[in-house]
Structure 1
Amino acid sequence: MDAETNPDIVNDNDRSLRDFVRMIRTYWMGALLIIALSIASGAVWTLFQPQVFEAKATGIVQAPRGNDPSNAYSSEALSKSQAASYATVATSLAVAERVEKAGVVKQSAGVLLGRITALQPQDTVLIEITAKGPTGDSARTLADAWITAMSEQIEAIQGNDGVIGAQNTKFVSVSKAATPNSPVSPNVIIALVLATITGTLLAIAYAVIRQHLDRRIRSADVLEQRYGTSVLGTIPMNPFLRKGSQLLSQLTETSTESRHASFAMAESLRELRTNLSYVDVDNPPQVFVVTSPNPGEGKSTLSANLAETLAVNSGKNVVVIDCDLRRPTLSKIFNAVEGAGLTDVLSGRAELQQVIQPCGDSEKLWILGAGRIPPNPSELLGSRAMKELLAALGEQSIVILDAPPILPVTDAVVLANSADGVVLVASARNTTYEQFGRAQQLIKRGGAHLLGTVLNRVPTSGQDAHQYGYYGGTYYANEETPATTATAQPSDESTVVEGDSATPIAAATPLAAPEEATSRRTVRRSGH
């Protein structure tokens, strides 16, 4: 079966070609530099090579014919047979010594012999002598002198042979050498062509080696092909989030670049929200963990902005919980009041309604901070109290659990067993394939459900944008800024738990009783 009848072969070939082009576009600067250096090296090499000129003189073998016309054919045959022998004489040391003794060219016989090439064209009585020299005149002089010395050497050989006698053949010059105007070496064009070919091969080898050694994730397609996980979304890099607030709704930058970056990220978040709803159409995830293989890959920023997007577009209450009990950050991102939080609820020092906080003007977005940093985070996150809390919240709200990175600690895996699944965040050009693979294995070994992957901080311009599968960075350039949520500020009436006393900070979202919620939650999750 060939490519014409098997579309899989065509697809594989197309994929291989795309991968090759992607590889070259990724490392094009280094590859181009190698090619340029190779061409420059070839040009420099030609400058330092000595020039070589070639001159060609031709001699002919003549046999005596006599007065009988019938001897013409035999004379011609004799000349041809002798020409083959004389071609051997032409490259003998004896001829070179005669040229040296003549003093026409001031070099030793061995050196002179290395400058000569003899050729007898097939089925002719001609012998071509090609001489090389540093100048055109020296090459011409050597070629002519060689013909003369060769003729003398042949006469000397025949003079010592009494058998040939009167039928001795002669070797005479038929064409004097002309002075060449240009050198035959170095050939600049050939040298540059070879340098270009060599540089291209080296550039390809460089790109292949770099791609093999560079284990950072550079393609969303590779994640699907290599690990069999669905990519729920690609979130473009937004440098303005790092300069100021980490929430799109709180950005005050009004430049064109900032607007483009915000629109691109907002649209990607909406796409992520939609894809999450299609993970399981009958039972879409209500409680899910957001984690990443390593620290610093943007999972908390993604969790916060995804929470805002869900609150605005889903029409449901959204609760985002800071489950990173080692390095909590969500309260700072939302400008929430820090103090009591999740750990206080789980340990029984506070009620949920006392510590959960509304975010800004939104009536549907709530944040539950981490609270006091405990000595045993994994035990708290895997406790029965945590399961009951998530079950109760998940009955009426979408719950996003911002968990610690999965490779350094086991908190995310422990937490995932109480949720509907895990969203694994990988940072483009930062997370390696090995790190992603280990994180995926830990999730599966822990018995959790991997909902999919989000490729974060994807480049929005240059070659990398196409490589990561991101193309729509400026599609919304002329649109109005999409409304999300206002700056998250606790209400004036809010208070936080201090010590062992607590006062409700706000009217929290209605919650089902823990026992009832747990029962319904278990039934719903059994559908996965």
Structure 2
Amino acid sequence: MPQAIPADQTRAPDMRDLTRLARTYWRGITLIVLVCTLLALGWSLMQPKFYSTTVRGLVIAIGQQDLSSRLAGDQLVRSKAAAYESLATSRPVAETVIDDLDLDTPPERILDSITVEVPSNSPEIRITAWDDSPEDAAKLADAWLTGLTRTVETLENSGDEAADSVGRISIQQLSRAEVPTSPTVPNTLLHTGIGVLVGLVLGLVYAFVRHRTNSDGVPLTDPAGTRKDPSTYGF
């Protein structure tokens, strides 16, 4: 006749079991968490540091006189802002910035340092510049918005259109780029937190394995099914 399996061997572990494991093998768990945290912190500190800062500009229509013109201009600048998102990452703007800052960098490379965002149905343009120097990142962001403004004015106001015509499109700078005080990449705090979580998981796995077998490979339950005290098995 088959022997019945004791209920305490078949039930799933609960919080009391996990607490008991953590209390019994806290030294090993702490060591694993510490090692994983230090490894994550060390890896993060060894990565190249990059700083980012954002400058904001607003697409505006100059010369609107009456209500209907202002309403039409409002719709116009929203559509223009969406179109300028791709223009802001174009080679002509990059070449303008290179000339203004007297950089010895090809346009393709400097374009990799710029990201542009236009919120949905908004006349606002946000330009984010990345660099390994916080000061250079701020200079690049401001210069890029200036270069975009000049490029837009050249494109929109060329031809036979008079310079003071109603509805002329321009970009107004809303804020200057601030010099970042801490690197954006790598995110040391995030990496350290991941290291702690990984260490906790590995520590609990270690505790569970130590609970199942002792240092000699003997199960922690004797043939009669009686549980043994895991605290007798050391570290």
TM range (shorter): 0.7 to 0.9
Match of 1:151 in 2: 149
Q: 2:231 aligns with which of 450, 463, 472?
A: 463
> Residue type of the partner of 2:31?
L
Alpha-carbon separation, structure 2, partners of 1:120 and 1:70: 25
Q: 2:219 aligns with which of 199, 217, 220?
A: 217
Distance verdict in 2 for CA 1:89–1:161, change over 3 Å = farther
Distance verdict in 2 for CA 1:80–1:202, change over 3 Å = same
CA-CA distance at 1:143 after TM superposition: 0.3
Match of 1:180 in 2: 180
Match of 1:86 in 2: 84
CA-CA distance at 1:123 after TM superposition: 3.8
Alpha-carbon separation, structure 2, partners of 1:84 and 1:213: 64
Tell me, what secondary structure is at the counterpart of 2:62? Answer: coil
Match of 1:189 in 2: 189
CA-CA distance at 1:57 after TM superposition: 1.4
CA-CA distance at 1:71 after TM superposition: 1.0
Match of 2:199 in 1: 199
Match of 2:4 in 1: none
Tell me, what secondary structure is at the counterpart of 1:183? Answer: coil
1:36 aligns with 2:34: yes
Whether the 8 Å contact between 2:211 and 2:220 is mirrored in structure 1 is: no
* Correspondence list, 1:87-486, <5 A: 87-158=85-156, 166=165, 167-208=167-208, 215-220=217-222, 223-225=223-225, 463-464=231-232
> Residue type of the partner of 1:204?
L
Whether the 8 Å contact between 2:213 and 2:220 is mirrored in structure 1 is: no
Whether the 8 Å contact between 1:26 and 1:464 is mirrored in structure 2 is: no
> Residue type of the partner of 1:12?
R
Tell me, what secondary structure is at the counterpart of 2:194? Answer: helix
1 or 2, which has the higher helix percentage? 2
Tell me, what secondary structure is at the counterpart of 2:155? Answer: helix
Alpha-carbon separation, structure 2, partners of 1:145 and 1:77: 27
Match of 1:76 in 2: 74
Q: How many residues are matched?
A: 222
Tell me, what secondary structure is at the counterpart of 2:93? Answer: helix
> Residue type of the partner of 1:152?
R
Alpha-carbon separation, structure 2, partners of 1:142 and 1:12: 62
CA-CA distance at 1:207 after TM superposition: 4.0
CA-CA distance at 1:44 after TM superposition: 1.4
Alpha-carbon separation, structure 2, partners of 1:37 and 1:106: 44
CA-CA distance at 1:19 after TM superposition: 4.4
Alpha-carbon separation, structure 1, partners of 2:120 and 2:14: 50
1:62 aligns with 2:60: yes
Report Cα offsets for 1:119-162 as digits up to 9, x if no partner.
22344321111112222210110001100111222234335677
Whether the 8 Å contact between 1:91 and 1:118 is mirrored in structure 2 is: yes
Distance verdict in 2 for CA 1:106–1:55, change over 3 Å = farther
Report Cα offsets for 1:389-446 as digits up to 9, x if no partner.
xxxxxxxxxxxxxxxxxxxxxxxxxxxxxxxxxxxxxxxxxxxxxxxxxxxxxxxxxx
Alpha-carbon separation, structure 2, partners of 1:107 and 1:204: 51
CA-CA distance at 1:177 after TM superposition: 1.3
Alpha-carbon separation, structure 2, partners of 1:111 and 1:211: 56
Distance verdict in 2 for CA 1:34–1:108, change over 3 Å = farther
Alpha-carbon separation, structure 2, partners of 1:16 and 1:70: 69
Q: How high is the TM-score relative to the length of structure 1?
A: 0.37
Report Cα offsets for 1:83-135 as digits up to 9, x if no partner.
11112222234322332233444433223222212122344321111112222
RMSD (Å) for aligned C-alpha atoms: 3.5
Distance verdict in 2 for CA 1:217–1:85, change over 3 Å = same
- Percent sequence identity is 27
CA-CA distance at 1:202 after TM superposition: 2.5
Whether the 8 Å contact between 1:53 and 1:133 is mirrored in structure 2 is: yes
Match of 2:3 in 1: none
CA-CA distance at 1:213 after TM superposition: 7.2
Alpha-carbon separation, structure 2, partners of 1:152 and 1:219: 79
| Unaligned residue ranges in structure 1 (runs of 5+) | 1-7, 226-230, 235-457, 466-528
Whether the 8 Å contact between 1:65 and 1:75 is mirrored in structure 2 is: no
| Unaligned residue ranges in structure 2 (runs of 5+) | 1-6
Distance verdict in 2 for CA 1:217–1:69, change over 3 Å = closer
Match of 1:389 in 2: none
Whether the 8 Å contact between 1:131 and 1:139 is mirrored in structure 2 is: yes
Structure whose alpha-carbon radius of gyration is higher: 1
Report Cα offsets for 1:271-311 as digits up to 9, x if no partner.
xxxxxxxxxxxxxxxxxxxxxxxxxxxxxxxxxxxxxxxxx
CA-CA distance at 1:72 after TM superposition: 1.1
Whether the 8 Å contact between 2:213 and 2:219 is mirrored in structure 1 is: no
Tell me, what secondary structure is at the counterpart of 1:175? Answer: coil
Whether the 8 Å contact between 2:78 and 2:122 is mirrored in structure 1 is: yes
